[in-house]
Homo-oligomer: A and B are copies of this chain.
């Protein structure tokens, strides 16, 4: 697949082997969906990136320059997935922060072909054995230390499984490997907190800002008792969950309403006709 890449705002696809992104996973990233030259959730991406830089004690990139670079790489493409990575840049040996810090900015863009079946009919998910550690200093950030997610995703290869749920050490469900989790329990929309582990997703933030949601711990039993379950992602949107093991659901009204909201933001559902064409 065609991918366009730039490093520090110039075409290029390599970084220094002494970049702290490579040596320590010392940095942050955003994954964005760009549609016809617009980035509908841009402000929320910038807010998270800026907050993350502050928490990691890194100077944030210039947001307007970053936006321009993203759009430059997307030019001519209609539906695009973009990853923007900001690492702490090149460092000497040792953990001490470089002085001055000169962060590295990598942007990569590729045409996006979302799965219409997943969006319309939902996905089957599984429960991962890999647990999320409780680390409040890093929780919520979309940082580059992602071995927990890598090991969780490595637990399955069945292409029929669309995502894996991750639990904390106490067994509460927190999120998927690359998406946030919502469930309708007793008629209320719930999502687990991400203050000990997991990523504070941009799609999750959009939902929290637009409707009443109970942010509260969620047990596996509560999840299995939910009337509706869906995952959220800035790139993949609202994904109904249709199965977790033997438990099955139909796509529900909350997910459908959020998919309509997504479309109104400029993030359309993939067309079913594309599916027939494949």
Binding site for B on A (CB under 8 A): 1, 3, 5, 7, 12-26, 29, 31, 56-57, 81, 83, 85, 87-88, 92-97, 106, 108, 110, 130-131, 133-135, 137-138, 143-154, 157, 169, 177-178
Indicate if the CB atoms of A85 and B146 lie closer than 8 Å. no
Indicate if the CB atoms of B149 and A24 lie closer than 8 Å. yes
Q: What are 6 contact pairs spanning A and B, CB under 8 A?
A: A15-B15, A19-B22, A25-B145, A94-B153, A95-B154, A97-B150
Indicate if the CB atoms of B137 and A134 lie closer than 8 Å. no
Chain B residues whose CB sits within 8 angstroms of the CB of A56 once the complex forms: 147, 150-151
Indicate if the CB atoms of A24 and B150 lie closer than 8 Å. yes
Q: In the complex, A23→B26 CA distance in Å?
A: 10
Q: In the complex, A154→B54 CA distance in Å?
A: 13
Indicate if the CB atoms of A151 and B137 lie closer than 8 Å. yes
Chain B residues whose CB sits within 8 angstroms of the CB of A154 once the complex forms: 57, 95-97
Indicate if the CB atoms of B25 and A29 lie closer than 8 Å. no
Indicate if the CB atoms of A7 and B17 lie closer than 8 Å. yes
Chain B residues whose CB sits within 8 angstroms of the CB of A93 once the complex forms: 31, 81, 83, 110
Chain B residues whose CB sits within 8 angstroms of the CB of A151 once the complex forms: 56-57, 137-138
Given contacts A15-B16, A97-B153, 12 further A-B contacts (CB under 8 A): A13-B16, A14-B14, A18-B108, A22-B85, A22-B106, A23-B85, A24-B25, A81-B93, A95-B146, A96-B157, A135-B148, A138-B151
Task: Determine which of B5, B25, B95, B96 lies in contact with A18 in the assembled complex, contact meaning CB atoms within 8 Å.
Answer: B5
Q: In the complex, A254→B241 CA distance in Å?
A: 59
Chain B residues whose CB sits within 8 angstroms of the CB of A21 once the complex forms: 22
